[in-house]
Structure 1
């Protein structure tokens, strides 16, 4: 086999590995009949989640970027926006062993939680796996609500969820934030009330 063919085969395998490394995202959206397609927008933390962490800012930035891609404009500093996009996210961990009948997810507070009550943060050490057991599955959820600022009417809402094995690129906050935001807001407003899988 020539060097060119070997190089081409290696490249194809590496691209295939990258494609399968990023898991699909489950997306559900709801909206009024014809939601806004443009206007100024401010991205804020969803009410009830006061902890603004660095990781939360990663998700907020990814969401803001996707709103720009579908036609909205970031609000200028000191100005009042036409719309408010409220953002919350949650990461949870569960063992990936064969017997999952007794598995219970462990939620880890990292800057936002879904629901009015949020969730309690727990300190979980993530280090070298000395037990030899498979790594945990990380579930990441993103929840975004779009409201008209003038009357606080919610015109669009969506949730996105993905799972990845702990320690893989897809489980890292930066990649997860981009993937979930793009899947959720891409194709805005999307079909209301339907759950789809975005690869």
Structure 2
């Protein structure tokens, strides 16, 4: 009887943990007026993309899929299209235990004397029983849509997220889909405002 009660509870907690393990994405978009919502678009690599290579295809495919959902018709990059979507991405690694500014996170120590003359000392220490803490992976996606005829930028945006190295959310395929969906979902979005997409 006890096993029957524990198993469903354990599964519910496991699923709840998976739902909260997906990190949020910070998104910023810019556009002027009411940008185009349809037309042919070719996805190309952004000039001077720092992480060029085979991984680019993963991010390009995720962006292309989201542009199609927004109403555009994707065509091969070698085809003459009405619009060009330039895609760039960057992945960086930061050791765990460091803040967003790159400095180590400090450990607080506190002490005091009680009314009976007793002294007390409190120390906060985090112990990792699984070995060295995993690095934090920051993944950033940048997309710029411009008219091919006059190279005018009609829309651009940037999105980034962070996850522990080795977790599903840190994998390039999952990160690319999540970033592209958060960035282009609801296209064109509110211009000039940074939002958090969960």
Q: TM-score, normalised by structure 1?
A: 0.78
Long gaps (5+) in structure 2: 105-129
Aligned partner of 2:28 in structure 1 is 28
Q: Is the 8 A contact 2:43 2:76 kept in 1?
A: no
The separation in 1 between residues aligned to 2:49 and 2:101, in whole angstroms, is 31
C-alpha deviation, 1:47, in angstroms: 1.2
Q: Is the 8 A contact 2:38 2:72 kept in 1?
A: yes
Aligned partner of 2:110 in structure 1 is none
C-alpha deviation, 1:20, in angstroms: 1.5
Alpha carbon RMSD of aligned pairs, Å?
2.5
Long gaps (5+) in structure 1: 105-130
Inter-CA distance 150–4: structure 2 relative to 1 (3 Å threshold): farther
Q: TM-score, normalised by structure 2?
A: 0.79
C-alpha deviation, 1:80, in angstroms: 1.1
Aligned partner of 2:139 in structure 1 is 140
The separation in 2 between residues aligned to 1:53 and 1:69, in whole angstroms, is 26
Inter-CA distance 51–96: structure 2 relative to 1 (3 Å threshold): closer
Inter-CA distance 173–100: structure 2 relative to 1 (3 Å threshold): closer
C-alpha deviation, 1:96, in angstroms: 1.2
Q: Is the 8 A contact 2:50 2:90 kept in 1?
A: no
Q: SS where residue 179 of structure 1 aligns? A: helix
- Answer with 1 or 2: which has the greater Rg: 2
C-alpha deviation, 1:98, in angstroms: 5.8
